[in-house]
Copies of this chain bind each other. A is one copy, B any other.
Amino acid sequence: MPDFQPYAELIVHVGLNLQPGQRLFIGPLTPPAAAPLAHAVAAAAYAAGARWVDAAWDDPQLARLRVQHAPDAALDEYPAWVGAAISEYVSRGDAFLTLAGEDPDLMRGLDPARVGRAQQARTRGRRALLEAATRNQMNWVVAAHPTAAWAAKALPDLPAEQGVAELWRLIGAACRLDRPDPVGAWRAHVADLTARAGYLTARRYTALHYEAPGTNLVLGLPPGHIWRGGQLAAANGVSFTPNLPTEEVFTLPDRARAEGTVRATLPLSYGGSLIQDFVMRFAEGRVVDVRAEHGEAVLSKVIETDQGSARLGEAALVAASSPVAAAGRLFYNTLFDENAACHLALGQSYRFTLHGGEALSPEAFQAAGGNLSAAHVDFMIGSPAMDVYGVCEDGVEEPLMKQGEWTFKAGA
């Protein structure tokens, strides 16, 4: 078994920044296979003064069996206790951790319409977590756990055991765990992302313009949008870093202003299905056309989850040379692939990417450009062939990225 201690320490101290006396809830999206890392995290959490570490596991095999065999009428159900568990911990401002290690082929061979319906039900059943996280009601982290199934997909050329070890090495490198002082390296990195986000916020662009082969998209940015990156501040007063690894700066797109076409540059591993080689066309902020070589039915169900799932909730910029991208391979896991390329997200947007967004009513947040949905699905559009421009109020387009790389420095 790999040594989970360094990653566990990073999760507790840099990611969660867990406070003495805080409770930590692991789940409810974490598979039982992540138990060894979860135990290392729990030990590190108690050493940091945690009051209580609890977990609610999500069993992917039971999810597959359900899609495979449950009667049709049952597919739209989801147990209420999952939402109750989320609310219990959210209501106290307890810390949350999700350990992602999904098998990208979990749902392979199953009826995509049934896969999509079950996924919709799950998305709705867990809405309370997305709602709380996008408001930063608590310090929360998504980290990764290497599973055999994931390794088999990401490193198909290696035998099973070697694959898991190599995947773990890649995760470590992407998370700077191979540096002499990982926590120190992270503090510097987080400061750098924060400075870049601050620079972009101060520019007050009215839109982003993306250009790449197959992509020509203009994405409105509403007045008062804030770029975020690195560290966030939770409503419980804790500064935390929600993704490990993280290489992105991101902001709020205007839900009503997206025009043009965007081509995905990486496959999207979502709920055990792979969605590949897809293109979406937007008009007035809404997806009006979607084509995918693989997984189109599942992607369509994502888009149809609710009113907000056909609109964008996040725009994130990542250099094509990020340490995650430097691994030179597809991870088939959003936590990694989204930190190797510029990406957008369909669905729920983050309240904290709008000045005063946390305090607005849902209606006011939407009127200001925010998007509300039970879904939040990132997909990758960046590549070394992408240019990104910030559109100024006077219509001038300032280059932000050329050929996938930042055109400016923003020192911490």
Residue numbers of A with Cβ under 8 A of B are: 21, 32, 35, 38-39, 42-43, 46-47, 49-57, 59, 61-62, 65-66, 68-71, 74, 77, 79-81, 84-85, 88
Residues of B within 8 A of A38 (CB): 59, 62
| Closest-CB distance, A63 to chain B (whole angstroms) | 10
**A43 and B69 contact, CB distance less than 8 A:** yes
A70 engages B51 (CB within 8 Å): yes
With A62-B38, A85-B81 known as contacts, the answer to whether A69 contacts B57 (CB < 8 A) is: no
Q: How far is the CB of A50 from chain B (nearest CB, A)?
A: 8
Asked whether, in the complex, the Cβ of B77 is within 8 Å of the Cβ of A88, the reply is no
A32-B35, A35-B32 are contacts. A46–B70 as well, Cβ < 8 Å?
A: yes
Check A81 against B88 for contact (C-beta < 8 Å): yes
Q: A32-B35, A35-B32 are in contact. Are A52 and B70 (CB under 8 A)?
A: yes
Known: A35-B61, A39-B65, A80-B84. 18 other contacts (CB 8 A): A32-B35, A42-B65, A43-B65, A46-B69, A49-B71, A50-B69, A50-B70, A52-B74, A54-B79, A56-B56, A56-B57, A57-B57, A57-B59, A79-B88, A80-B88, A81-B81, A81-B85, A84-B84
Q: Would B71 and A51 count as touching, CB distance under 8 A?
A: yes
Q: Which of B35, B51, B56, B68 contacts A81 (CB 8 A)?
A: B56
Give the docked Cα–Cα distance between A79 and B85 (Å). Answer: 8
**A38, A49, A56: residue with the most chain B Cβ atoms closer than 10 Å:** A56
- Which B residue's beta carbon lies closest to that of A54? B79
Looking at the assembled complex, report how far the CB atom of A89 sits from the nearest CB atom of chain B, in whole angstroms. 8
Contacts of A66 in B (CB 8 A): 52-53
| A-B pairs with lowest CB-CB distance, top 10 | A46-B69, A81-B85, A32-B32, A84-B84, A57-B57, A51-B74, A42-B65, A39-B61, A81-B84, A81-B88
Closest beta carbon of chain B to A292's beta carbon, Å: 29
Provided the pairs A35-B32, A81-B81, A81-B84 are in contact, do residues A53 and B62 lie with their beta carbons within 8 angstroms? yes
Q: Return A37 CB to nearest CB of chain B, in Å.
A: 12
Tell me the bound Cα distance from A53 to B69 in angstroms: 10
> How near does chain B come to A201, taking the closest CB pair, in angstroms?
38
- CB distance A62 to B81 under 8 Å? no
Contacts of A65 in B (CB 8 A): 39, 42-43, 46, 53
Subset of 15 A-B contacts with CB under 8 Å: A21-B71, A39-B65, A50-B70, A51-B70, A52-B74, A54-B79, A55-B57, A55-B59, A56-B57, A56-B81, A57-B59, A79-B85, A79-B88, A81-B81, A81-B85
In the docked arrangement, what's the CA distance between A72 and B38, Å? 22
Contacts of A59 on B, CB cut-off 8 Å? 35, 38, 55, 57
Determine how close the nearest CB of chain B comes to the CB of A90; give it in whole angstroms: 11
Contacts of A88 in B (CB 8 A): 79-81
B residues within 8 A CB of A39? Answer: 61-62, 65
Taking the closest CB of chain B, its distance from the CB of A215, in whole angstroms, is 41
Q: Are A77 and B52 in contact (CB under 8 A)?
A: yes
CB distance from A129 to the nearest CB of B (A): 13
A66–B50 Cα distance when bound, in Å, is 10
B contact residues around A71 at 8 Å (CB): 21, 49, 51
Q: Which residues of B contact A49 (CB under 8 A)?
A: 71
Interface centre among A38, A39, A68, A69 (most CB of B within 10 A): A69
Closest approach, in angstroms, between the C-beta of A29 and any C-beta of chain B? 14
